[in-house]
Every structure is written in structure tokens, then in C-alpha cells.
């Protein structure tokens, strides 16, 4: 998630006994209420994320062709009229380099999360996008314009890293460790307040939202059961 300052466009890149929400979503199984096999679930997750990333590129093409008309969908903090941009901001970028930087991590982290089920994935993404956008609206610097998918990326990272431990799933723990090994350094860098043109506030809000999602949407798994 990048900030675009109004002053310049240069450098844009910018403990109950009942079932948990995660249990209910897991039981719904997934596409159209039916249970999918592992292969079908992977295929559905791949199609979804390829389509999502393609949409981001298409929107940036529209933005450029329209003279950056879509840049106004970014979030300007503490302005009540900007609350309607909390969700759209996650799909808008400030240049093709910005989209490119977010494409691979969103594709991979989104795919891994979506393997747990598309309904579950949609709920996780909705929570992260809304909470992250509200966080940016509350704490981003004055006169900044923040947009991009990196808040969601940080949220998916946080979710994947901890969900295996929360649910006590060996496979989930392994996936989390691999994700941390590949993207951990980049995540830490993105949280540094010293970087200019980067919304570390949006990154932090996204990361916290992903950690919350891991607890909100946790599934209860039988001992020894391996789940994606």
C-alpha cells in the first residue's frame, strides 16, 4: 500500500462450545455449497487469483488511459466522504510498477489462503480489506492518498504465518514457516516508518487484521488431521 502525496506525483509506487465462524465456513465446503476435492479446490483457487491479479492490471490500464482518474479512489485520512473508498482503494494502484510489485505476493499468498475454501477466503479478505482501510483512514498522515493491494498482502501473510499454530495443524505450520522464510524480510522492511512514499501504517493495519482473521476464522481440527 503506497501513499501518493498531493504535493507531487514523482516516485509513485507507491471459549464457547459452539462452532466458530471458521468451523461454519469450513463446513460450507466451498463453491456453491459443495465439497471440492483437493485438485478442484486448487484449480478454483488458481483461477480466482489469476482473475484478481488480471483485474488489478486492467484497472491500472483504465487509470492511465483516463489520466489517472481512478487515483481519487485512494484513501484520504479522516475525511468522512473518503470512507466509501475503504474497499476500492485495495484495487487501485499508482502506476504499473506498483501493480507489478504486488502481483506475485498477492497471487501466491491469495492462492495458499484460498486453498482453505473460497467462501472462507472471501470472508478473510473482506475482513482484512475493510479493517486495513479503516486503519489507514484513522492513522495515515494528513494530505496523503493511500491505495494498493499491499495491505491485503500483509494481512494474508499474517494469516498464513499464524493460522497453522492457531489451529494446531502441522501442514499449516509448515506453510506458515515457508511463507515467513520467503517474505518475512520484505514484510519487516515494509513496516519501517523511515520509508518515504510507503504507507507503513497501511501495512501494519493489514498485518494486524490478518492475525485477527486467523483467530476469527479458525477451524477445529481433529488431532493428527492434516488440512490445507
Residue 16 banded pLDDT, cuts 50, 70, 90: very low
pLDDT of residue 17: 43
pLDDT of residue 128: 98
Residue 180: is it exposed, middle or buried by C-beta count within 10 angstroms (0-12/13-18/19+)?
middle
**What is the average per-residue pLDDT within 138-155?**
96
**What is the average per-residue pLDDT within 127-142?**
97
- With 0.75 as the threshold, say if the pTM is over it: yes
Of 57-71, 161-175, 214-228, minimum mean pLDDT range: 214-228
pLDDT at 9 over 50: no
Residue 196 banded pLDDT, cuts 50, 70, 90: confident
**Measured distance CA(128)–CA(213) in Å, rounded:** 7
HSE-up (13 A, CA, CB side) for residue 172: 26
pLDDT of residue 184: 97
**What is the average per-residue pLDDT within 36-43?**
84
User: Which residue is it, cell 490445507?
Assistant: 228
pLDDT at 115 over 60: yes
**What is the average per-residue pLDDT within 20-42?**
59
- Cβ atoms of 102 and 56 within 8 Å: the answer is yes
**What is the average per-residue pLDDT within 51-67?**
98
Amino acid at each position: 500500500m503506497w501513499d501518493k502525496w498531493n504535493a507531487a506525483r514523482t516516485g509513485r509506487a507507491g471459549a464457547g462450545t459452539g462452532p466458530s465462524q471458521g468451523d461454519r465456513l469450513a463446513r460450507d465446503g466451498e463453491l456453491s455449497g459443495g465439497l471440492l476435492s483437493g485438485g478442484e479446490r486448487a484449480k478454483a483457487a488458481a483461477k480466482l487469483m489469476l482473475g484478481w491479479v488480471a483485474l488489478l492490471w486492467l484497472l491500472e490500464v483504465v487509470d492511465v488511459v483516463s489520466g489517472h482518474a481512478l487515483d481519487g479512489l485512494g484513501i484520504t485520512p479522516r475525511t468522512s466522504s473518503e470512507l466509501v473508498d475503504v474497499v476500492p482503494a485495495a484495487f487501485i494502484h499508482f502506476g504499473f510498477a506498483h501493480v507489478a510489485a504486488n502481483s506475485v505476493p498477492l497471487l501466491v499468498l491469495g492462492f495458499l489462503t484460498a486453498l482453505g475454501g473460497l467462501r472462507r477466503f472471501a470472508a478473510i479478505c473482506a475482513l482484512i480489506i475493510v479493517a486495513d482501510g479503516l486503519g489507514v483512514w484513522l492513522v495515515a498522515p494528513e494530505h496523503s492518498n493511500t491505495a494498493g493491494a499491499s495491505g491485503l498482502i500483509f494481512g494474508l501473510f499474517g494469516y498464513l504465518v499464524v493460522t497453522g499454530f492457531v489451529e494446531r495443524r502441522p501442514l499449516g505450520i509448515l506453510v506458515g514457516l515457508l511463507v515467513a522464510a520467503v517474505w518475512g524480510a520484505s514484510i519487516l522492511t515494509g513496516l519501517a516508518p523511515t520509508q518515504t512514499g510507503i504507507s507503513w501504517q497501511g501495512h501494519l493495519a493489514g498485518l494486524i487484521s490478518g492475525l485477527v482473521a486467523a483467530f476469527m476464522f479458525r477451524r477445529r481440527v481433529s488431532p493428527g488431521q492434516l488440512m490445507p
